[in-house]
Structure 1
């Protein structure tokens, strides 16, 4: 493969690589082995092994651009975004490389996703910490990250008040042990439920 042009794109640090023959593709220095990017110049010819490395970088850039499209619409978790990209038939190794890069640059953040998810969830659900922690875990959020997001969430939202709202909603259709069981499934402690039910 012989280099025809290498031009920086509008997307920071990403370059459009055009060979003498074949289609153009995007590459990023971070996706190439040390030193290979610096060898790229007009007229330079690359051997088969180097071409494979350039193509790998190109495929990783394609994944990165797709991932950024999802992130532009809404916060994503690494777990959820990985699943979406693999469903789109992208190779796992390119997905991992692209998402690690995006995490390193702060474009992808499980903590931001968890915080956004909690704030959206509270609109239609009245749930306690343990239920919310389980829901975040099912979305691939690590326990320590979920803990931070929950600490922040409950510093702004009174869990006892949420429990009271859940009690008011559920008590319309349930009572006694069934009501208690439903509130415990919603993530509230027996102690919280007892205090709310006695007031």
Structure 2
């Protein structure tokens, strides 16, 4: 709905963002003051935050925490952001589960990392633990962690890293020591 103030610019709002004013009360020539006026302005701010969030979502998949930071940097208030992102999540335009799956598949292209590192990277982005677990379980059903570890191990050997540096590198990249040891033995039999 488009709202035009007598002495100000016009703006849009979505009725779900209204807390006090009923949509049928907003008619041509209607006047609002105090709490009702504030409610309409807040609904307009929520709609503006929603539109900016959609701009970001149209460019690439986003996650809630990152999108919140981007919107705050653009000057939107926390209340408007929360309401807008709740709406977008309800419409499935914003989905941290989907983001986690897509992020893992994109990350796999240029990085050879184990479960622990990937889990920590997603947690740092504010993705919920249950979403991380689901995404990682799905990811490692389709991608063998052993093969990823071997890829990283071969990279270390190609760059002539010592065994100690290789192990440290692979541990830092989230592989379990047992997997690293097994990969080292398997690599030795390939030679």
Fold conserved (TM > 0.5)? yes
Q: Are 1:125 and 2:84 counterparts?
A: no
Whole-angstrom CA distance in 1 between matches of 2:121 and 2:35: 45
Whole-angstrom CA distance in 1 between matches of 2:176 and 2:104: 19
Higher helix share: 2
Decide whether the 8 Å contact of 2:20 with 2:39 is kept in 1. no
Q: Where does residue 160 of structure 1 map in the other structure?
A: 146
Q: Where does residue 27 of structure 1 map in the other structure?
A: 13
Q: Where does residue 196 of structure 1 map in the other structure?
A: 183
Q: Where does residue 59 of structure 1 map in the other structure?
A: 45
Q: Where does residue 177 of structure 1 map in the other structure?
A: 164
Q: Give how far 1:22 is off.
A: 2.1
Which whole-Å deviations, capped at 9, do the CAs of 1:158-183 have from their partners, x for residues lacking one?
Answer: 11110110100012231222211111
Whole-angstrom CA distance in 2 between matches of 1:42 and 1:89: 30
Whole-angstrom CA distance in 2 between matches of 1:171 and 1:152: 29
Which whole-Å deviations, capped at 9, do the CAs of 1:8-53 have from their partners, x for residues lacking one?
Answer: xxxxxxx222234421111111100255212111222222321111
Unaligned runs of 5+ in 2: 187-191
Runs of 4+ off more than 6 Å: none
Count residues in correspondence. Answer: 185
CA RMSD of aligned residues (A): 1.3
Higher strand share: 1
Q: Where does residue 173 of structure 2 map in the other structure?
A: 186
Bigger mean CA offset, 32-41 vs 151-160 = 32-41
Which whole-Å deviations, capped at 9, do the CAs of 1:103-160 have from their partners, x for residues lacking one?
Answer: 1111111111111111111111000100100111111111111111111111111111
Please show how residues 55-134 of structure 1 align to structure 2 within 5 Å. Answer: 55-134=41-120
